[in-house]
Each structure stands twice: as structure tokens, then as C-alpha cells.
Amino acid sequence: MARALVQLWAICMLRVALATVYFQEEFLDGEHWRNRWLQSTNDSRFGHFRLSSGKFYGHKEKDKGLQTTQNGRFYAISARFKPFSNKGKTLVIQYTVKHEQKMDCGGGYIKVFPADIDQKNLNGKSQYYIMFGPDICGFDIKKVHVILHFKNKYHENKKLIRCKVDGFTHLYTLILRPDLSYDVKIDGQSIESGSIEYDWNLTSLKKETSPAESKDWEQTKDNKAQDWKKHFLDTSASKQSDWNGELDGDWPAPMLQKPPYQDGLKLEGIHKDVWLHRKMKNTDYLTQYDLSEFENIGAIGLELWQVRSGTIFDNFLITDDEEYADNFGKATWGETKGPEREMDAIQAKEEMKKAREEEEEELLSGRINRHEHYFNQFHRRNEL
């Protein structure tokens, strides 16, 4: 048994060693976070962040994160890390967000930026690679944004992904894989997945066919047609005696029947779009223009608007390993989610008790005041 545990531990350690962690932030060193995160000075009206675990929490220190502090403000802050490319690798982006103020209108999403981002001038027009996370405003907007930058444009997942709207901390995870699959998780559970190519309408953004590709297609189609014709030729037929190859060209052998691709019918077994897709795939088209690949990832940040402040962002992670992200989520949010709800429940009971006591005091005070009022009126009558 002991040997099996040792082997399991060794496997886990090997797995951790194989994972590449590009960025990880838990805010466990107090105010030193200010050395890593830079507030934008693009607008003097930007709201400010503070380090806080909120009014209720699972662990006072572990649950501390960046909290918005001013109502009706834009916020812009970011942190750098060593630039990297996720080409040919899985990309996992994960963090926790807590709308302690019961968000009515505002963002809870994060953005991943290229390494050349100007942190001091970060604003709503700053180019980003990925925008991911919840956005809430009124009854209509309660969604998880998954926006990717592709060919100088931003493209959002066409599926409606619902976000959490309560006041507790939630774990948000985005996974982009090199096989063009993706996964969106909330609290460790997959809530949406599918194909990056189709769910971002990549199929409608394929590279335009170049003249050379069109020529290749026509040549391929002609060759294919010639191959098909061979199946319908009368091989027993003899060439005409007066046929001159130099003057008349190749002798067209008679056909046993008409090929099925004539008269407007498609040439069976070949389709231009399919052929082009396969050709571009074979020439690394899908990897060169893949929505899930970014060459110069180098910063993560918060650039958003909030009507009511109080949101807390924590446990940021960017890695290439899904299992590492899963374990990191369990070791952070997973350890404090239960105690957080317990503390909230205790506070709610205390607030209800206090409210009842205040109400009883008001009622009692009202009775005393009424009694004094009647008493004073009685004495005034006697005096008269």
C-alpha cells in the first residue's frame, strides 16, 4: 500500500513538473502585489483596486484578491509575464471572481494581451488576444464572454453561455486546444464545449482562394474528370482509319454511357470546398491561421466597467496543462468555497436577528411613547 502511494505521488510530481505555468497569482504576499500589477494612468477617472477578502470569506488571507472600490467607474490594471506562444499547445486560462455586491451591471471578465501592450495607457481600445469571463447588466445580459482576436478582428463565441449571478466566489476556466476544440468551465464543471472552427464561425473566414490555388483546382478537376471518363469508355472500339493524330489530336474513344457528372451534376467524389480545405490543411493553413494560436502572449489584465463596485478577482492562472489547472482550482477555490458559504449563512442569521431586535425595540419604543402621550394628556385634563 505504501509503495503504491509513493508511486502515485511520484506520478503526480512528474505531472506537475511537465506542466508549464506561464502566470500564477494568489496575492499571498500582502501589498507586494503592487510591484507586479500596474494601474493604468490613461484616465484619471479610472477606479482603484485594493486587496481584500470581502465581507465574508472561506479564509481571510487565501481569499484576498483585487477588489474594485468605486461605483460607476472604468477600471484598467494589468500584470506582465515572460512572453510565450501557445502554438501547438493547449492554453488554459483560469481565475476566480466574486460579485460580493450582487452585481447589477458590470464586467467580471479578464483580458489576455500581447507582450507589447502599453500598461500605463491600458484602456478600452487596447488590443487584446482573449477576453473571457462573466458580464452582467440588468435582466438581459448575464453571459460568459469568450472573444478571440483573429485576423485583426474580434470574434465572439456564437453560443449563449450563462454565468453565475450570486454573491459567491466562482471559478472560471477556458481551455483552447490545438485540435481546435475548446471547453468553458464554471466551478470545475464543463458548461460549454465544441469546435473553435465552427463556434466562432471560422469556416466563413477561410483564406480567400488565390489564383494559383484556383489553377490547381481546375487542373485537379480536369485530371479527375479524365480519370472518371476512363470508366465509361468503350475500350473495344477501334480508331478510325482516316484519323490523323498530328492534325486531329488525340482520338476520343466512344463512351458506353454518359458520365453522371455532366448536365450540371457535380463530379462525384470531388468538391471544390472540400478539396481546398484539405489542401490548406495539408499546407498548415489551419495552424497558421488558427483562432486558438497566439504568438506573443505577455500580459493579463482587468479592463472593465462597473456600476456598483465590490467585485474580487483572485487565483489567476495561465498554463498549458488542464490537469494542473484542475488541481490548482481545487487547492484554492475548492478549499474555501464551503467555509465562504458557511460564513455568509452565519452573517445572514446575525443580520436577521439584529433586524428583529431593532424592530422589537422600535415597537417597544413606540408603545412607551404612546403610553407617555396618554399619561400626559390625562394629567393636563386634571389640571384644567
Q: Quick: pLDDT tens for 159-203.
A: 999 999 999 999 999 999 999 999 999 999 999 999 998 898 776
pLDDT of residue 364: 75
* The pLDDT of residue 184: 98
**Percent of the chain predicted with pLDDT > 90:** 58
Other residues' Cβ atoms within 10 Å of the Cβ of residue 212: 8
Name the binding residues: 109, 111, 128, 135, 303
- pLDDT recorded at residue 213: 55
User: Quick check: 238 pLDDT over 80?
Assistant: no
Nearest CA to 48 among 78, 80, 76? 76
What is the per-residue pLDDT for 283? 42
Instruction: Locate 76 and state its grid cell.
Output: 484598467
Q: Range with the lowest mean pLDDT among 30-34, 94-98, 264-268, 358-362?
A: 264-268
CA distance 259 to 232: 7
Cβ atoms 175, 322 nearer than 8 A: yes
Instruction: State how far the Cα of 99 lies from the Cα of 54, in Å rounded to an integer.
Output: 10
Q: Give the pLDDT band (50/70/90) at residue 358.
A: confident
Render the burial of 153-187: b for 16+ CB within 10 Å, e for the rest: eebebeeeeebbeebebbbbbbbbebebbbbbbbb
Q: What angle, rounded to 10 degrees, do the helices at 322-331 and 333-383 form?
A: 30
Domains of the chain: 21-207+290-345 (2.60.120.200)
Q: Contact at 8 Å (CB) between 188 and 173?
A: yes
Q: Where are the alpha helices (DSSP H) in 54-144?
A: none
Which amino acids are annotated as binding site for an alpha-D-glucoside, given as ranges? 109, 111, 128, 135, 303
Query: Hey, which residues does 134 pair with through a beta bridge?
Result: 144
Position 157 pLDDT exceeds 70: yes
pLDDT at 289: 47
User: Beta strand pairing status for 110-114 and 105-107?
Assistant: unpaired
Number of H helices, E strands in the chain: 8, 16
pLDDT value of residue 139: 84
Q: Residue 105: pLDDT above 50?
A: yes
Answer yes or no: is pLDDT of 302 > 80: yes
pTM of the full predicted structure?
Answer: 0.72
- State the amino acid at position 36 in one-letter form: R
